[in-house]
Amino acid sequence: MNVYWERIERILAEQGMSINGFAKYIGLPRGENLYQIKRGNNRISLGVARRIHAHFPQYAISWLLTGEEGSMPALRVETVHLTWLPYYESIEDTSSTLLPIPTFLSKGAQMILRCKDDREQRMGFMPRPLLLLRRIELCEMDENNSYYIMTDKLQGVFTVRADARTSLLRLESVWNTYIAEIHANDIRCIWCVCNFIADME
């Protein structure tokens, strides 16, 4: 019996994740590390246990390594409500498919946008995040949120600061240090970023 894999399998079931998606989420370069545990070739290493615990603190490192009963998390059964949102590869797409997103993650979003695979569209360890967006009017913007903004010359995720002296909007990219100043009437479309999730593809 592979007791190490039983613990990983339990986490995958409770989190509703695939082996490769889970490996990517916890920062492993590939799923092969987990497949070696599944085959019984490897135990759960301290490094893997630390990665899992960092992303899912309810699973104690001691339980992951030894299966200690005292540190085993209680099995929970929860109902997850889903919201079906249209998914777009590009903001200019005219057709979409519907994807289920847990309602607690959607946070009022109306659509899902997959970011471009370039440096301006990345967030740390998370390549090509999926943005959960809600269309808003320019007057609804405030300085406490991030927005997906599209003009004739740029598009991306920005925080926005208004400059009362010049009546310009200062856009700061959330992905890097890119900064632009534009007039409000340069904005063609604006969406509030309700949330973002890792692309598990």
Ordered DSSP codes for 128-141 = SPEEEEEE--GGG-
Q: Contact, 193 vs 133, CB < 8 A?
A: yes
Q: How far is CA 178 from CA 37, 106, 129, 160, 181, in A?
A: 42, 27, 18, 12, 11
User: Do 3-71 and 82-197 show the same overall fold?
Assistant: no
Nearest-angstrom CA–CA distance, 119 and 125: 12
First to last CA, the chain: 31
pLDDT > 90: percent of the chain: 11
Nearest-angstrom CA–CA distance, 115 and 99: 16
Q: Quick one: CATH architecture of 82-197?
A: Ribbon (2.10)
Say what the pTM is. Answer: 0.56
Domain boundaries, the chain: 3-71, 82-197
3-71: in CATH 1.10.20: no
Q: Contact, 59 vs 52, CB < 8 A?
A: yes
pLDDT digits (tens, 9 = 90+) for 83-130: 899 998 888 888 889 988 888 888 899 999 987 654 444 444 445 678
